Each structure stands twice: as C-alpha cells, then as structure tokens.
Amino acid sequence: MATDDVKYPMPWRLGLAVLLFCLLMFGAGPLAKAWQLSGNAKLPLLIPGLIALLWMGWESRRYMRLTGNATPAMSRYLQRLVPLWLVYAIFLIAAINLQRSLQPQGVLAVAIAILPALPLIGFIWAMGRLFVEESDEYQRMMHVRRALIATGFMLVVSTIWGFLESSALVPHVPAWSAFILWNIGLIFAGIVPWGRR
C-alpha cells in the first residue's frame, strides 16, 4: 500500500486539548485583568492551562501510538520537552519576580530578561535532535514537513498582524509571540491531513 493511501483518523481529542489549552492560557491574562489580580496572585489562573497542556501531551502520545508514529526518536523528543516546559515555567516566574523585586539595570536586567528564552531555545535544539536522531526516513520527512508548515503559519500570521499593527488596527504583540505561533502551527500541522500523511 502506498503511503499516500494510508488513512489516519482525525485527532478530535488532541484538537480539543489544543483548543482548551489555548483558551485557558490566552484567557488567563484578560481574566486576571477583569478580576484586578496582580503579581503572583495571577499564577493560580495558569494551573488549568498547565493541566490542559499535560492532557495535550497525553493525547499527542496516544495519537502517535494510534497512527504508528511513536518512534524511539519521537519518544526521546517528548521526554526532552517535559523538563524544558518545567524549566521554562520556573524561569519565567523567577524572571518576573526578579524584575519586580530587584528592578535591575544593565547587564543584570538583560540576563534576567533572557532567562525565560533559554528553555525555548532548548525546544529548538530538541527539534533539531529529532531530525538528526530519526532513523525512519519517512518519519523524518514528516517532522520536517510539519516544521515547514509551522514556519509558514507563523510567517503568514505575523506578517498579516504586522501590517494590521502598522495601520493601528490591532494592538502590539511582543516578538516572543512568534515562538507561540510556531508551536501552534506545529500542532496544527499534525492535525491537518497534509501534515499527517
């Protein structure tokens, strides 16, 4: 049977987990503003989103097993992501608290600001390792295809947003949002038919 003839089931549960994660994480900020929460009082609002993230990871693994895509390289990739997510959460909370309490200047301010970016750079490294370690050529091609779809998604959305922002039609979005967009694109690429076969 040709590879293109393989039918993969639509990952509804994974899609629901992704949607719930995005709603909970992006909704935490407006909710904190509506409830007039500040500082560490906002942190509990992130807990449901983190639980949704765990569910999303569980559904990703389940879907990989269901479709026969659970290769050893992919398992190692997922095992690298969990500690990176934890380190990211810790570094982000630490950076926010250090900036508030120390109000640093100069090199220290730069170091604290960059702290949350380090685990995100680790994500990019983990993706590169997946490409290198994947011994199945078809699976490697699928990972690269998904990364290209995610990159295209990120470029399209950020370009359109940038022009809308230049016309003062939408609010400014920080540059680090590109990484979030890329990850949403990566998830999207695993759900759409041309990213699954």
The rounded percent of the chain whose pLDDT value lies above 90 is 35
pLDDT in tens, 87-107: 888 898 889 889 988 999 999
pLDDT of residue 7: 58
Q: How confident is the model at residue 193 (pLDDT cuts 50, 70, 90)?
A: low
85: exposed, middle or buried (Cβ count in 10 Å: 0-12, 13-18, 19+): middle
Query: What number is the average pLDDT over the span 65-94?
Result: 84
> Is 70 exceeded by the pLDDT of residue 22?
yes
Q: Compare 20 and 67 and report the one with higher pLDDT.
A: 20
Q: Phi-psi bin for 134: left (phi > 0), alpha (psi -120 to 50), beta?
A: beta
Cα separation, 66 vs 60, in Å, equals 10
CB 22 within 8 A of CB 191: no
pLDDT in tens, 131-187: 999 999 988 998 899 999 999 999 999 999 999 999 999 988 888 889 888 988 888
Cα separation, 102 vs 86, in Å, equals 24
Q: Compare 150 and 194 and report the one with higher pLDDT.
A: 150
**pTM, to two decimals:** 0.74
